[in-house]
Amino acid sequence: MRRAARWLIAGLVLLLGRGERQRQLPPGEPVVEGMQPSPGAELVVAGLLGLSALLAIAFIVVYAGGANTQLLGLALGLCFATLAVVSVVTAFRLTPPEEAEEPYPEPSHPFEAAEIEQIADESRRHLTRGKLLGLAAGGAGTALALAVITPLVSLGPVFDTSRLRREPWRRGVKLVDEQGRVLHADDIELNTLHTAFPEGANPDDIASPIVVVRVEPARLDLPEDRRDWAPGGIVAYSKICTHAACAVALYRAPHFQPSRPRPALVCPCHYSTFDPATGGTVLFGPAGRPLPQLPLSVGPKGELIALGAFSGPVGPSWSGVRE
């Protein structure tokens, strides 16, 4: 870091001090001792820089094509590892050794600035392919910078967000469990937590999984417009936490209610706690909005069916969610 800053300052000084060339140091003892040119090491460094640029580009390509997290990590990790090797080779083979007994001069005075310029000059005098190295370093840096900011694209409106809005639930869709068996109202006993999916839909869709619990009808306190959503006290909510999209997999089901905390759906990641009796409102934790509720009804054979779509957008809030 400090070295980079030093080079930056040296570069600035070079630009600023161009007009004052006439005050150059008298040709005398070089500040930096010379170094044998090593074109082989230069080629290796240039090649590795090229490789790291390719790996950074690979990161962008993987991100664009589905973003397999393991490949993403591999690409970025190898890119950094290559840059580390570049630093090591550069330090050992391309940077002239120097014993500094005094700190470098402040670049305030033209004379001292000229000295820095001389140091910089002498440090790269032995390089045979200076331009190539500069190009390679610039390319690798640009590629890496692009790779690092690529994920920002997902925040913007240019990408297709329809997948986040896709909802497999509509009137009449049956609820099935993990094994695909149709869930009946009788299966939902008090103090049990069931996970359900829409029959025939892709269970991996963010809006597919729901949790189904039975609340004692006397304790139900749903909003006015959701009165008919809970046949026999059976309520269903999206299983995807509105905080960070973890699965709401815990059910706090008190055995004896007068003395215990009330029943609640809890997300195990950050303990967001939702009240199934009042429409999924947040009781505790970092979640910012209630769990979306799915209106339920009971079919002719006692099977549970959806009455329509969720009460709100599923999953964590994103730029397209307006409460």
Partner 1 sequence: MTRALVFLILLALALPALGGAQSGADLYLQSCVSCHGVGGAGVSPGGKHFGPPLQGVGAQAADFYLRTGYMPVQEASQEPVRKASPFSDAEIRALVRYIGSFGGPPVPKPQPERGNPSEGMQLFTQNCAGCHQVAAQGGLVVGGTAPRLNRSTPTEIAEAIRVGPYLMPRFTERQLNDRQVDSIIRYVQVTQNPEDRGGWGISHLGPIPEGLIAWLLAGSVLVGVAAVIGGRRPT
Which one of 125, 129, 226, 252 is in contact with partner 1 (CB under 8 A)? 252
Q: Pick out residues in 21-50 that bind partner 1 (CB under 8 A).
A: 33
| 193 is an interface residue for partner 1 by CB under 8 A | yes
- Closer residue to partner 1 in complex, CB, 41/54: 41
Q: What is the closest distance, in whole angstroms, from the C-beta atom of residue 178 to partner 1 in the complex? A: 8
State the minimum distance, in angstroms, from the CB of residue 201 to partner 1.
21
- Amino acid at site 1: M
Per-position b or e across 112-130, b if 16+ CB within 10 A of its CB: ebbbbbbbbebbeebbeee
CB of 244 to partner 1, least distance (A): 15
| Binds partner 1 (CB under 8 A): choice among 60, 79, 113, 194 | 194
Residue in 42, 115, 117, 187 binding partner 1, rule: CB under 8 A: 187
Q: Pick one of 142, 161, 192, 202: the residue that binds partner 1 (CB under 8 A).
A: 192
Which residue, 54 or 283, is less far from partner 1 as judged by CB? Answer: 283
**Which residue, 46 or 265, has its beta carbon nearer to partner 1?**
265
Q: Cβ–Cβ contacts within 10 Å for residue 217, how many?
A: 12
User: Shortest distance, CB of residue 39 to partner 1, whole angstroms?
Assistant: 20
- 77/46 Cα distance (integer angstroms): 19
Which residue, 109 or 270, is less far from partner 1 as judged by CB?
A: 270
| Count of residues interacting with partner 1 (CB under 8 A) | 32
**3 lies in the site for partner 1, by CB under 8 A:** no
273 binds partner 1 (CB under 8 A): yes
Among 19, 259, 300, 301, binds partner 1 (CB under 8 A): 259
Applying CB under 8 A, does 261 fall inside the site for partner 1? yes
With binding defined as CB under 8 A, does residue 318 bind partner 1?
no
With CB under 8 A as the contact rule, which of the stretches 101-109, 159-167, 250-258, 292-300 interacts with partner 1?
Answer: 250-258
When asked if residue 99 is in the footprint of partner 1 (CB under 8 A), the reply is: yes
Q: Is 253 in the site for partner 1 (CB under 8 A)?
A: yes
- SS3 string, the chain, reads CHHHHHHHHHHHHHHHHHHHHHHCCCCCCCCCCCCCCCHHHHHHHHHHHHHHHHHHHHHHHHHHCCCCHHHHHHHHHHHHHHHHHHHHHHHHHHCCCCCCCCCCCCCCCHHHHHHHHHHHHHHCCCCCCHHHHHHHHHHHHHHHHHHHHHHHHHHCCCCCCHHHHCCCCCCCCEEECCCCCECEHHHCCCCCCEEEEECCCCCCCCCCCEEEEECCHHHCCCCHHHHHHCHHHEEEEECECCCCCCECCEEECCCCHHHCCCCEEECCCCCCEEEHHHCCEEEECCCCCCCCEECEEECCCCEEEECCCCCCCCCCCCCCCCC
* Residues near partner 1, by CB under 8 A: 33, 88, 91-92, 97, 99, 187, 189, 191-194, 249-256, 258-261, 264, 266, 268, 271, 273, 283-285
